[in-house]
Amino acid sequence: MKKKASSLWIKAVALLWLTASVLTLQAQKGEMPNILLVFADDLGYKDCGFTGSKVFETPHLDALAQKGMVFSNAYASAGNCAPSRAGLMSGRYSPRHGVYAVGSTTRGPRKQMRLVPVRNTGELAPSFVTMAEALKARGYTTGLFGKWHLGTADSTEPRAQGFDTWFDSRQGNPNKKRELPEDPKGIFSLTEAALGFMEQNRQRPFFAFLSHHAIHSSLEARPSSIRRFRDKGLDPKAALYAACIYDLDESVGKLMAYLARTGLDKNTLVVFTSDNGATQQSSQEPLRGSKGGYYEGGIREPFIACWPGRIKPASHNPTPIINLDLYPTFLAAAGHDAAATDGENLLPLLLGKRPATKRSSLFWHFPGYLDNPVIRGRDNIFRTRPVTVVRKGDWKLHLYHEEWILDRGKEGLATNNAVELYNLRQDEGERTNLASTHTARRDELLNDLLAWMKSVKAPMPVPIDAAHPLNDSDGGEEH
């Protein structure tokens, strides 16, 4: 028995050595691209020049868009920071990981809540194989520079979740304003750390995740950048917002200049996007709403993918995608599968091929309440109430659970306002609810959504009663 166990151990070691050898040979041949993911914080879809802004200046992002592919229907997997990042790193929809908000899902006036929300999970559980762990297992050196927001325990901090290196110049007080005028929001210290990591690991495949704190409030910017926009006639508040974006954009310029100077750009897949929509400091019109909500302004994101020689320059793709897709896409670019995710491999789209996809819809599930109402929100009390959303083709349906659970559900659809239906091709601002006039389409999307909720075992809020009192013990909040 001991001899057999010893043989099995030797075999296992041999297999591990063989796998490592194959990965090393692949890396030496250049078959595994470097991957650089640049993630902005609270940058809205309409906050960039390449997405149509006439106020904000993003010359380096605009140049990157000309070198790569822009997706005009790219989405975050949630309306605010932590759940979106949990989706990104796990490749899983929110009902699977249970991260729905930052802190509490019971945020706002209790007397206005009709349901007991699902309790929030504050960390991404160690049981999930993260994007970083998957890439590391396939021969990548991995580094995170900036915001993590998915756990601080020994088992959930970045180095326990697949990152060889983690540096955050804002760790401990990411949203507290500091007096470091030449390094606002840690933009440039984080960028320099990412550049040092890429330089140190340029002879082997790397995954560099630059996860900025910018432009999340409290806003910061270099004095020279603020003056630039004050000189253009912007008031102090607007100039600060524009200057923070301008400084963030310079980070992208530094990264791309380094890749070009070293020749690493030829074998580096670069992706730029944001974690959720903008705060109300920046109108996202014609998109409705903002951060924390599930109208377009809260979840549609700027998105660029660039890979010289592989992705056609100055190309545009209207296909709806979601940040869950980056996990299988990065693994596919490295020559591997990622079966255990909810995302889709975007590589065929990026390379200009017809995608072999079975996905017809995207989904969002938020079983709680967020305070601070948004412009053109559903009401003037909450940013969002408990809701599940589906986008299928040009159509988008919102199912609001207070009315669905308490006001006769499907039987009461004619009057209970449980469902909102929009055609985004004709009405991207979600102004005209078509639920009562396009009932066949409404029922199609509603049935799809209910089937998805069942398939992922989406937890639901429940009516308030003696057995289910409304209280809040989930912790802190974030705007």
Q: Can you give the pLDDT at residue 4? A: 37
Which residues 6+ apart lie within 8 Å of 195 measured at CB?
A: 254, 255, 258
Q: Can you give the pLDDT at residue 173? A: 64
* Residue 187 to residue 193: CA distance in whole angstroms: 10
**For each successive 10 residues of the chain (479 residues), what is the average pLDDT?**
38 36 42 96 98 97 98 97 98 97 94 96 96 96 96 94 94 66 94 98 97 95 97 96 98 98 97 96 96 97 97 96 97 86 94 77 98 93 97 98 96 95 98 98 98 98 91 52
Q: Can you give the pLDDT at residue 357? A: 63
Q: Can you give the pLDDT at residue 157? A: 95
Q: Can you give the pLDDT at residue 169? A: 87
Q: What separation in angstroms does the CA of 473 have from each of 122, 128, 464, 470, 476?
A: 12, 25, 16, 10, 9
- CA atoms 278, 282, 285, 289: torsion sign: positive
Q: Can you give the pLDDT at residue 23? A: 44
In terms of phi and psi (left: phi > 0; alpha: psi -120 to 50; beta: otherwise), the region of 393 is left
Q: Can you give the pLDDT at residue 253? A: 98
Q: Can you give the pLDDT at residue 172? A: 64
Residues 42-60 as b or e (16 or more Cβ within 10 Å = b): bbbbbbbbbbebeebbbeb
